A = this chain, B = another copy of it.
C-alpha cells in the first residue's frame, strides 16, 4: 500500500516535471546572435585619433579608417533534443526577420511553431536590411508613402479593400502591425552580397534547410549554387530569379506592370538544384489569365514561371514540388501564408513535406 503510494508520488513528480519543461514551454539548449559574411573597406590616408577622434556627425574624417559592412545578421535558437537539420529562415523584399516571428494579429509565427516541433531555427536579416544595416555603399531612404501598394502586391486585397475570405485578421491594429513590418534598405540591394553572406552562414552552421519568402526565393536558388550545405529548400511564393540551364531559358513573361525574366546558368551549375528536394507554396487570389490589377498580375507571372521551372528541374532529375494552395482546398492565403490566420495548417503541410523527404530526423 505504502509502496503504491510512493510509486504514485514518483510517477506524479516525473510526469508533472516533464510536462513543466516540455509541454507548454519553449526549452532552449542555447540562443544567440552573430554577424556573418560581409566586407571591409578602408579609406585612403592615415587615421589620427587625436586630430580626428572627436564625434562630429556629417563632418568626420574617414582618413585611414575601416568600415565593416555587407554582412548578414543571424539570431538562432536551439531547442533541447533538437532535430539534426536546422531551419534557416530568410525574409523577402522590404521585410526582415520579423516575417517569421509573432504574426501581425499577435499569434505565434513559424519561429515558435517550429521550435515547438524541435527544429533549431536561424532568423536572417540580409545585408543592408534590419539588424544588418551597415552597408559599404552609401544609400538614401525615401519616406514616400507606399503602404497601399504593398497591401495590393502582398495580396491582402485591392486599394484598401480586403479580398473576400482572406486569411487576415480585420482589426485595424493588425494591419497597423503588418505595415510596421516593412523596413527600408540601408544601401542598394546586392544579390551577390546577399547570397555570399547566406552561403557563408551555411558554411559556418553546416548542413541545414533553407526557408525562403518572395524575393529570397530566387536568391535561395542562387545561394544553393554557392554552398553544398543546403539539404532542402522550402520557398513561399518565390517571385523572381528562377534559374534555368543556358540555352533552355524560357521567354520573359509580360504582365500588367512589368516583365519577369528567367536567368540562365551553365548546365553543371543548374544540376546542383536537381540534387536537393525543393517545395514551393503559392497562396490565393492569383489569376491564371491576365487581369487589370498589377497586385495580382506579378504573381500570375511568378506562378507561371514556377511551373516552367518545376518541369525543367524535374526533367533533369530533380525533386521539385509546386503547391498552389487553393488547388488542394486551402483558400484565402495572402503572400504571407506562414503568418496568415491558418498558419498552423501551413506549418503542418511543411512538416509533412520535411517528413516525406527524411529531413525531420
Q: Tell whether A102 is near chain B: CB-to-CB under 8 Å.
A: yes
**For residue A193, which residues in chain B have a CB less than 8 angstroms away from its CB?**
none
Whose C-beta in chain B lies nearest to the C-beta of A49?
B159
**For residue A131, which residues in chain B have a CB less than 8 angstroms away from its CB?**
96-98, 125, 130-131, 183
Partner of A27, one of B25, B152, B181, B183: B25
Are B13 and A102 in contact, with the CB atoms below 8 A? Answer: no
**For residue A7, which residues in chain B have a CB less than 8 angstroms away from its CB?**
6
Are A141 and B186 in contact, with the CB atoms below 8 A? Answer: yes
Complex interface: stretch among A61-69, A230-238, A313-321, A326-334? A61-69
Are A158 and B49 in contact, with the CB atoms below 8 A? Answer: yes
Mark out the residues of chain A between 123 and 174 whose CB falls within 8 Å of any chain B CB in the assembled complex. 125, 129-149, 152-153, 158-160
A269-B6 Cα distance, complex, nearest whole Å: 62
**For residue A179, which residues in chain B have a CB less than 8 angstroms away from its CB?**
66-68
**For residue A298, which residues in chain B have a CB less than 8 angstroms away from its CB?**
54-55
Q: Tell whether A358 is near chain B: CB-to-CB under 8 Å.
A: no
A38-B182 Cα distance, complex, nearest whole Å: 13
Whose C-beta in chain B lies nearest to the C-beta of A239?
B55
Partner of A149, one of B31, B60, B101, B158: B60
Are A65 and B130 in contact, with the CB atoms below 8 A? Answer: no
Partner of A143, one of B6, B52, B136: B136
A339-B138 Cα distance, complex, nearest whole Å: 29
Q: Mark A35-51, 1 if CB is under 8 A from B, else 0.
A: 10010111100011110
A257-B67 Cα distance, complex, nearest whole Å: 22
Tell me the smallest distance from the CB of A65 to a CB of chain B, in Å.
4
Are B62 and A145 in contact, with the CB atoms below 8 A? Answer: yes
Q: Which of A138, A145, A158, A294 has the most CB of B within 10 A?
A: A145
Complex interface: stretch among A16-24, A243-251, A275-283? A16-24
Q: Mark A70-82, 1 if CB is under 8 A from B, else 0.
A: 0101010000100
Q: Tell whether A205 is near chain B: CB-to-CB under 8 Å.
A: no
A-B contact pairs, 16 of them (CB 8 A): A13-B13, A14-B17, A17-B20, A28-B28, A31-B112, A33-B101, A49-B152, A54-B257, A55-B153, A56-B257, A62-B146, A64-B148, A65-B147, A134-B184, A138-B144, A140-B140
Given contacts A20-B80, A68-B180, 7 further A-B contacts (CB under 8 A): A13-B14, A49-B159, A50-B292, A55-B153, A68-B147, A133-B133, A137-B143
